[in-house]
Structure 1
């Protein structure tokens, strides 16, 4: 792909010759990079049979075709090979209307998207139906042509969502660039340069995975902002004015004086900056989010019955991500391109607990937390839990982990790799630029979620790996690096080993056996992967007690723990540790209306994973405090930070369902309690 900075040249006169040094000054690239880019540009011109660059007496001349065919040269594809999906067509149709400064017609849309009139009419109909759900209207009049009407906040948020959804495909990005080139072929490049310069000058730390969509969104808002204004209340303006990003917004808009003159747009661009800016601990205006981060972490520890040992590091990492998430949720900026379904599939119990733990953020924003945001926090917690494993490792190899999808995805990828390869020391990098700044002598191999052009051994992996993918990766790394361990044979190897000793039935081929065996392996591996016991498997009849005895809270905890002690899952020391923890840290074990979860550390006397339940007829006052009236005690004996999470996720679902919680509190026999626990697992 041709560097975007070369587009600065396409707006220059065509009959003027430029020296390498002049081009370097115009584009801001080094002379070596300019020469490299000119070579790539000439290759593309030759490939498409266009007029190549003239190089005469140290002067370079560009033909008008370079301007006219810039998109083709930039992407290395011809427009005839660009095909938009139905969603991309409708998104681009919306975005063209979003920035329109003149009458738009069906013919204009048709010419831009290179499709038939009937296709455009069908797209307009479907788009109108989708927009109506957000109270946005795609209207038409003979005087104005097509235009958007509705609340400006909703109109802009819809544009942001559409840009975020299509910017990752070649056809989507092509359409976005083409839409901006109508007035100026250099506009997108100017916005990109201004944003990058502002980030550098203001020392803001930007989430790398959000940069590309933000550049296009800013460019489209700059176009729309010349005609339509965004209004914020004075209280919000006052809060935004205190942020470091407000100065960055003004600096960025100084290159676009027509928009800078609109005060409301200064604040709107501050919001945009905050949705992609990692938290800055020195920004005193964000202290309230540091407190929120602390509350969420402690809530997660309480709900999941775990303790994060590197608390300060986790607090800072969490705060860095919480800041942009707060502004996205509070002001309705969507988060796209997230592996939400994959996270739910592989980290379901952690996702459930994280969703509940995020209630302090929900109260702060006044909005429900979207699953996409929950997913990011889930893998942030998951990464930290993973980091607490394998504390004592023998380091034999050094590896870099590259995952441009964002810091949270990077953390979970790093965590999974550490678990798979305890003899490798993993360091994290989140951008290709960071990778290029690291000396190759500092690492042996790279694990990357994107293809790389490097001489170092590179393993291409997904941010979240299935069990089959893990096994294949283990095999490859062991073969390459001779890491000791058990190699899981591939399906191919199993078949090749068996074929000399078996006779295939008629109609049965090697390929058919491969497909069947592959399906069975995936199924078996998934079963093996999910070894965490369910709530009903831990709280069996022998672990559930009901009593009408009156007792204090210390006696109740000791009584509730007796089934665990009788079965040898805990020692007497563990019971004492649970009681001491309440005395030291307060009523943190009160996890819901009338429910307490006594627990201590595994090293305090846990021999085996287990849970026991005690239901008292007369409520017990935890710490003798009327605010903490407990009817059910559920003692947890955890062996680590993970094996009990599925059970606690089910318990959390029960507590979150008012009807089920009331039934549980009213239950008066073991059978009813067991039935309710099983029903809660299917919620």
Structure 2
């Protein structure tokens, strides 16, 4: 697409010529970029059979179509090729009303979307139904035309959610731009330019993947703020005023002082900045989130029975992501996570544990954490768990991992690549926008989730790869970079190799063999994930004990661990280590609801993965503390940070289900406990 700054040329008279230097000054682009952009515009003009840019000596004259058909030139599509989905029409209809300066009628909507009156009436009816649950009304009066009524905060949040969804498609983005062009053909470009200036001047670190939706939201809010102000409570204002981004908000809004009173919106725009700003450790107003990050890590360690070795690095990474997440959740700004279903499918157990570990954030915001947000925290923890695998590597190549969604979103991609290619150094990670700031000498090869125009060897990978995709990537990288190891042939290569030496039965074709092999390979590659045992597979009858003995907490842990010791899964040292951990770190093994999860490090005496359960009739007080009354001890012997996660995810489901938990706490025999564990796995 054409650079947004070229839109400053739209309003120029087609009768007046300009030199390249003048165009550079008007757009703020280097002369080389201007020449390149003019070439693209000329290509589009010719593509659509419009008049080309006219040259006379050193002056350039733009045909009238540059202004009239700017959207077509910008997107490289004719308007007749744009088709809005039903949701896009209703969202854009809402946004048109959101910024309306004039009395809007059904005819205005018809003209904008080029659809029938009946279609618009149907859209209005469905939109009104959708808005009802948010206490927003799409009203109509002869005097005002269509307008929105309700709490201004709710009206704006609904606009943000709609923008976040429609901005992901070409038709949606076209509609957003078209809705603005009718008021000003350069206002969006102004907002973009001033925003980037503010980010630089305020030294804010922005999450790249949120920029686009935020720019459009800012543009639409600035249009609406001329006539609709928003009120925040005094306590919120005091907290917002302390943030570093508050100064950035003031700088930004000062550019629009001719159309609105900056003071009326400076607090709200600070919130917008905070939803896309990476946490800044020097911002003292955010110290409470650093503490929250620490609590979440400890909660994750407790629930997943793991210990993060690079604690400080994880704390900072989590804090950087927690800051925008807190402001999004607290103030109801939506987050689009297109990978959420894949995250749930491939990292289901980690997702379940992360959701519970985020309880401190839930308490801070007073809001349930949306799955889309949980997904990004899952990626963060998953990447860190992957990074903790100790690999003895001889580094031959330095790779750059690129992801448009920010540093934290690339962690799982980075850790999986490390496992696939142990002879490549994957320590260098950045975003696409920051690629130019890196010297090419710093890396030999690029692994990116988006296509790039680069001279370096590049491999396009999905942020979350299927097993088959991993298999194909291994083959390509080994073939092209000559990485030591066994090259896994493709299915096509296997078939082509075998065909000269076999005779196909009647009715059997090459395509049929391909389908069978493909199914077999996918099934085989899934085995590793399926090796993670479920809770009921670990807590079998012989690993479950019930007792009416009166025990101290140390005796209870030793008693609970006996089945593991008898089956040779742990040593005596491990039992001592579990008890010592509680003495050293307190009652961290109490995971809630009267259930304790004693465990220590694998190197403390674990020989094989295992779990054992002890249910006591008389509750045991951990460290003699009445706040930590334990009825069930589940000893965990983990061999690494991952193999036990599926089982623990099932345990957290049981803890989260009040009915099943109560049944478990009053169970009188092994069979009942086993049945409840199996039911918990299917929740």
TM over 0.5: yes
Following TM superposition, by how much is the alpha carbon of 1:24 offset from its aligned partner in structure 2, in angstroms?
Answer: 1.2
CA separation in 1, counterparts of 2:615 and 2:258?
69
CA separation in 1, counterparts of 2:423 and 2:252?
46
Q: Which moved more, 1:189-198 or 1:71-80?
A: 71-80
Partner residue of 1:159? Answer: 159
CA separation in 2, counterparts of 1:589 and 1:338?
35
Following TM superposition, by how much is the alpha carbon of 1:237 offset from its aligned partner in structure 2, in angstroms?
Answer: 0.8
1:411 correspondence with 2:411: yes
CA separation in 2, counterparts of 1:301 and 1:133?
39
Following TM superposition, by how much is the alpha carbon of 1:158 offset from its aligned partner in structure 2, in angstroms?
Answer: 1.0
Following TM superposition, by how much is the alpha carbon of 1:217 offset from its aligned partner in structure 2, in angstroms?
Answer: 0.4
CA change 1:411–1:259 in 2 (3 A) is farther
Following TM superposition, by how much is the alpha carbon of 1:113 offset from its aligned partner in structure 2, in angstroms?
Answer: 1.5
Following TM superposition, by how much is the alpha carbon of 1:543 offset from its aligned partner in structure 2, in angstroms?
Answer: 0.9
Q: Deviations over 1:317-355 (max 9, x none)?
A: 100000000000000000014311110000001111101
Q: How does 1:278-297 map to 2 (within 5 A)?
A: 278-297=278-297
Q: Which moved more, 1:501-510 or 1:289-298?
A: 501-510
Partner residue of 1:542? Answer: 542
Do 1:165 and 1:337's aligned partners in 2 also have CA atoms closer than 8 Å? no
Do 2:92 and 2:176's aligned partners in 1 also have CA atoms closer than 8 Å? yes
Partner residue of 2:353? Answer: 353
CA separation in 1, counterparts of 2:111 and 2:521?
51
CA separation in 2, counterparts of 1:158 and 1:406?
25
CA separation in 1, counterparts of 2:391 and 2:505?
52
Equivalences, count:
683
Q: How does 1:463-502 map to 2 (within 5 A)?
A: 463-502=463-502
Following TM superposition, by how much is the alpha carbon of 1:588 offset from its aligned partner in structure 2, in angstroms?
Answer: 0.4
1:445 correspondence with 2:445: yes
Do 1:259 and 1:265's aligned partners in 2 also have CA atoms closer than 8 Å? no
Partner residue of 1:122? Answer: 122
Do 1:561 and 1:575's aligned partners in 2 also have CA atoms closer than 8 Å? yes
Following TM superposition, by how much is the alpha carbon of 1:492 offset from its aligned partner in structure 2, in angstroms?
Answer: 1.7
Following TM superposition, by how much is the alpha carbon of 1:441 offset from its aligned partner in structure 2, in angstroms?
Answer: 2.4
Q: Which moved more, 1:344-353 or 1:134-143?
A: 134-143
CA separation in 1, counterparts of 2:412 and 2:534?
24
Q: Deviations over 1:249-274 (max 9, x none)?
A: 11111111146515331111111001
TM-score (norm 1): 0.97
Partner residue of 1:51? Answer: 51
Runs (5+) with no aligned partner, structure 1:
none
Following TM superposition, by how much is the alpha carbon of 1:21 offset from its aligned partner in structure 2, in angstroms?
Answer: 1.5
Q: How does 1:164-313 map to 2 (within 5 A)?
A: 164-258=164-258, 260-261=260-261, 263-313=263-313
1:387 correspondence with 2:383: no
Q: How does 1:317-356 map to 2 (within 5 A)?
A: 317-356=317-356
1:521 correspondence with 2:521: yes
CA separation in 1, counterparts of 2:541 and 2:337?
45
Q: Deviations over 1:505-549 (max 9, x none)?
A: 555433333234323432332343332110011111111111122
Secondary structure of 1:276's match?
coil
Do 2:253 and 2:262's aligned partners in 1 also have CA atoms closer than 8 Å? no
Partner residue of 2:669? Answer: 669
CA separation in 2, counterparts of 1:49 and 1:222?
37
Secondary structure of 2:338's match?
coil
CA change 1:539–1:337 in 2 (3 A) is closer
CA separation in 1, counterparts of 2:489 and 2:472?
8
1:38 correspondence with 2:33: no
Do 1:44 and 1:76's aligned partners in 2 also have CA atoms closer than 8 Å? yes
Following TM superposition, by how much is the alpha carbon of 1:496 offset from its aligned partner in structure 2, in angstroms?
Answer: 2.5
Do 2:226 and 2:260's aligned partners in 1 also have CA atoms closer than 8 Å? no
CA separation in 2, counterparts of 1:154 and 1:127?
15
Following TM superposition, by how much is the alpha carbon of 1:657 offset from its aligned partner in structure 2, in angstroms?
Answer: 1.3
Partner residue of 1:399? Answer: 399
CA separation in 2, counterparts of 1:428 and 1:218?
33
Following TM superposition, by how much is the alpha carbon of 1:36 offset from its aligned partner in structure 2, in angstroms?
Answer: 1.4
Q: Which moved more, 1:122-131 or 1:194-203?
A: 122-131
CA change 1:562–1:450 in 2 (3 A) is same
Q: Which moved more, 1:323-332 or 1:49-58?
A: 49-58
Q: Which moved more, 1:326-335 or 1:390-399?
A: 390-399
Do 2:225 and 2:260's aligned partners in 1 also have CA atoms closer than 8 Å? no
Secondary structure of 2:458's match?
strand
Following TM superposition, by how much is the alpha carbon of 1:108 offset from its aligned partner in structure 2, in angstroms?
Answer: 1.6
Q: Which moved more, 1:253-262 or 1:447-456?
A: 253-262
CA separation in 2, counterparts of 1:416 and 1:538?
27
Do 1:254 and 1:260's aligned partners in 2 also have CA atoms closer than 8 Å? no
Partner residue of 1:557? Answer: 557
Do 1:250 and 1:260's aligned partners in 2 also have CA atoms closer than 8 Å? no
Do 2:385 and 2:641's aligned partners in 1 also have CA atoms closer than 8 Å? yes
Q: Deviations over 1:633-668 (max 9, x none)?
A: 111111111111111111111111111111111111
CA separation in 2, counterparts of 1:603 and 1:535?
22
CA separation in 2, counterparts of 1:674 and 1:225?
60
Do 1:602 and 1:637's aligned partners in 2 also have CA atoms closer than 8 Å? yes
Runs (5+) with no aligned partner, structure 2:
none
Secondary structure of 1:425's match?
strand
Secondary structure of 2:526's match?
helix
Q: Deviations over 1:41-75 (max 9, x none)?
A: 21221221212112222122222211111111111
Q: Which moved more, 1:260-269 or 1:233-242?
A: 260-269
Do 1:128 and 1:138's aligned partners in 2 also have CA atoms closer than 8 Å? yes
CA separation in 2, counterparts of 1:598 and 1:60?
77
Secondary structure of 1:452's match?
coil
Partner residue of 1:370? Answer: 370
Following TM superposition, by how much is the alpha carbon of 1:495 offset from its aligned partner in structure 2, in angstroms?
Answer: 2.7
Q: Which runs of 4+ in 1 moved over 6 A?
A: none
CA change 1:337–1:565 in 2 (3 A) is closer
Do 2:391 and 2:422's aligned partners in 1 also have CA atoms closer than 8 Å? no
CA separation in 1, counterparts of 2:511 and 2:100?
55
TM-score (norm 2): 0.97
Following TM superposition, by how much is the alpha carbon of 1:248 offset from its aligned partner in structure 2, in angstroms?
Answer: 0.7
Q: Deviations over 1:532-584 (max 9, x none)?
A: 11001111111111112212111111111111111111111111111111100
Following TM superposition, by how much is the alpha carbon of 1:476 offset from its aligned partner in structure 2, in angstroms?
Answer: 1.1
Q: Deviations over 1:160-212 (max 9, x none)?
A: 11111111211111111111111110111111101111000000000000000
Q: Which moved more, 1:323-332 or 1:132-141?
A: 132-141
CA separation in 1, counterparts of 2:287 and 2:253?
27
Partner residue of 1:2? Answer: 2
Following TM superposition, by how much is the alpha carbon of 1:452 offset from its aligned partner in structure 2, in angstroms?
Answer: 0.9
CA separation in 1, counterparts of 2:425 and 2:235?
49
Instruction: Please report the RMSD computed on the Cα atoms of aligned residues, expressed in angstroms.
Output: 1.5
CA change 1:116–1:337 in 2 (3 A) is farther
Do 1:277 and 1:324's aligned partners in 2 also have CA atoms closer than 8 Å? yes
Partner residue of 1:635? Answer: 635
Do 1:410 and 1:428's aligned partners in 2 also have CA atoms closer than 8 Å? no
Following TM superposition, by how much is the alpha carbon of 1:467 offset from its aligned partner in structure 2, in angstroms?
Answer: 0.9
CA separation in 1, counterparts of 2:78 and 2:506?
49
Partner residue of 2:134? Answer: 134
CA separation in 1, counterparts of 2:584 and 2:16?
79
CA change 1:527–1:130 in 2 (3 A) is farther
Do 1:414 and 1:428's aligned partners in 2 also have CA atoms closer than 8 Å? no
Secondary structure of 2:373's match?
helix
Following TM superposition, by how much is the alpha carbon of 1:497 offset from its aligned partner in structure 2, in angstroms?
Answer: 3.3
Partner residue of 1:455? Answer: 455
Following TM superposition, by how much is the alpha carbon of 1:417 offset from its aligned partner in structure 2, in angstroms?
Answer: 0.9
CA separation in 1, counterparts of 2:234 and 2:107?
43
